[in-house]
Amino acid sequence: MTTIEKTPAARVAGPHLRALESEAIHILREVAGQFDKPVILFSAGKDSVLVLHLARKAFYPAPLPFSLLHVDTGHNFPEVLAFRDRVVAQGGLRLQVARVQDWIDDGRLTERPDGTRNPLQTVPLVDTIAEQRFDAVIGGARRDEERSRAKERIFSLRDSFGGWDPRRQRPELWGLYNGRHAAGEHVRVFPLSNWTELDVWNYIETEGIDLPEIYYAHEREVFQRQGMWLAPGEWGGPSTRETLQRRQVRYRTVGDMSCTGAVESSATDVRAVIEEIIVTRITERGATRADDRLGEAAMEDRKREGYF
C-alpha cells in the first residue's frame, strides 16, 4: 500500500462520540428500568469491555445492576481469560461462566470434526439464559459488523429457543424501546448498534479503557491457514503440512482460538491501531473470523439459531 485516499471508511468526532455514549447509556438504563434479570455477555473482547464500561458509567455511583455471563469454548486465549478475571475481581462484579466442555462431557453437545467450537456456543448460551431466567441479554454486537446485522434492532426479541425471526422484530421508532415479551421469551439488547469499529477504538482511546494485551502488536508463534494467521493451542492446529513462524501480530477480535486469526501489525498502542484501521481495506470480521466464511448467509443462519 503506497497511497491513501482521504475519504476512508472512518467516522470519528468528539461530539459524535459523546452522542453515541449518551445513546448507549440511555439504552442501558432502559434495560435496568424495563427488565427483572438482565445480564451482560462478557467475553473480555473489546466490544464487551466497552459495554461494561458504559454500563458502569450509566449507573454511577451505584453498583452495576447487571451480572456478567461468559460462554467459554475452552479454546480461549489465556491472556484474555486472565484479563476477564482481573476485571471481575477488581470491579467486584458477578460473573457466571458456561463452559462448552461441560456440555460436551455430558453429551448435550458433540465435538465437530474440524475441532472448531465457535458454533457450539449457541446451546450453552440458550440453555443458561433459560436456566437462569435472564430476560434481557446485553451484547456488544454492532450493525456495521456484517450485512445481516444491519437490520438488527437495538431491542431484539428472541423466542423461547433463543431464535431470531426477522418478521417478528418490532419497528423501533424514535427512542422508544419496547422490552415487553411473553413468558419464556427474552430480549437481546445491543447498545453499540450505531457504533463503528473506528468509533469503538476512538472511544477506547478517549476514555483510556484497558483491553487484553493481544489487541496490540506482539511477537507470537503462528501458522497460516486460509490466509489467516492462527495460534497453536489445545484446540488442534497446526497440522503436519502447516509450519509455525514467529511474527509480530495483533488481534482485531478475540474469540475461539480455532477460528480467530491475527493480522500482522506493528501497532503497539491505541493510536497506532486507529491509524492501521484507517489505512486498511479489510473489514473486521472478514479478516479474522473463519466461521463467517462458511457461506454468504452464515451469520443469518446462526442468528436464527440463537447465536449473537
| Residues 173-192 interacting with other proteins (rule: CB under 8 A) | 173-176, 178-182
- Select the residue interacting with other proteins from 202, 253, 258, 260 (CB under 8 A): 202
Instruction: List the one residue out of 215, 193, 296, 304 whose CA is nearest residue 260.
Output: 215
- Select the residue interacting with other proteins from 194, 224, 248, 268 (CB under 8 A): 194
Does the protein bind other proteins through residue 14 (CB under 8 A)? Answer: yes
Q: Which is nearer to other proteins, 16 or 133 (CB)?
A: 16
- Select the residue interacting with other proteins from 108, 266, 269, 294 (CB under 8 A): 266
Q: Which stretch binds other proteins (CB under 8 A): 5-13, 101-109, 133-141, 237-245?
A: 5-13
Measured distance CA(275)–CA(237) in Å, rounded = 31
Residue 260 is given by DSSP the state B
Contact at 8 Å (CB) between 87 and 44? Answer: yes
Cell of 220: 507470537
Site for other proteins in 42-101 (CB under 8 A): 56-63
Does the protein bind other proteins through residue 274 (CB under 8 A)? Answer: yes
Orientation angle between helical segments 46-59 and 78-91, nearest 10 degrees:
10
In which element (H, E) is residue 224 found?
strand 218-225
CB atoms within 10 A of CB 244: 14
Minimum distance from residue 178 beta carbon to other proteins (Å): 5
Binding marks (x or -) toward other proteins, 107..146, rule CB under 8 A? ------------------------------------xx--
Beta-bridge mates of residue 289: 260
